[in-house]
């Protein structure tokens, strides 16, 4: 018995047969051949720089999902992982002081946008810019932690 079943034979008759068996046995079913009878879809996913992005057309076109995934990857900033780590450490530091304030949340959102908008910044230039922004927001961070 199987809990999770993937069908990707390209044969509609086989897809229907497997689907019926899954329904009888209570298995969860996904069909690449007949997506409309699927219980779930597997999105096209991209793991890059400490994050994961998933795209789905709900089984309508895996090639569209793939093309979008490739385009998104080409738009992602360099040194993404290191920049996300800076933001993660700042977030942890702010959380360690208690519940984050609206100002602190706005600061984190601003530096997250800077990470994308100024994608070509080196790690050090990004870090320095982030500390300038922290000063603008009147947020004190321990510089040596980053």
- pLDDT over 90 for what percent of the chain? 75
Read off the pLDDT of residues 8-55 as tens digits, 9 standing for 90 and up: 999 999 999 999 999 999 999 999 999 999 999 999 999 998 899 999
pLDDT for position 71: 95
Distance CA 102, CA 144 (A): 25
- pLDDT category at 64 given cuts 50, 70, 90 is very high
Distance CA 4, CA 27 (A): 6
What are the residues facing 51 on neighbouring strands?
Answer: 48
Residue 145 has pLDDT above 80, yes or no: no
Average pLDDT, integer, range 90-94? 93
Residue 144 has pLDDT above 70, yes or no: no
Distance CA 48, CA 69 (A): 11
Distance CA 4, CA 2 (A): 6
pTM listed for this prediction: 0.70
- pLDDT over 70 for what percent of the chain? 98
Contacts of 130 (CB under 8 A, 6+ apart): 86, 87, 90, 111, 114, 146
Residue 77 has pLDDT above 90, yes or no: no
């Amino acid at each position: 018995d199987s809990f999770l079943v993937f069908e990707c034979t390209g044969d509609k008759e086989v897809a229907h047969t497997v689907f019926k068996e899954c329904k009888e046995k209570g298995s969860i079913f996904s069909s690449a051949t007949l997506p409309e009878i699927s219980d779930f879809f597997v999105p096209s996913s991209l793991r890059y720089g400490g994050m994961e992005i998933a795209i789905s057309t709900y089984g309508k076109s895996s090639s569209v999902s793939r093309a979008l995934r490739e385009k998104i990857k080409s738009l992602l900033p360099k040194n993404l992982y290191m920049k996300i780590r800076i933001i993660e450490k700042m977030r942890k530091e702010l959380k360690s002081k208690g519940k984050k304030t609206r100002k602190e949340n706005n600061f984190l959102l601003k530096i997250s946008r800077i990470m994308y908008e100024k994608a070509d910044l080196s790690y050090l230039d990004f870090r320095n810019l982030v500390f300038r922004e922290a000063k603008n927001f009147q947020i004190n961070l321990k510089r040596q932690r980053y």
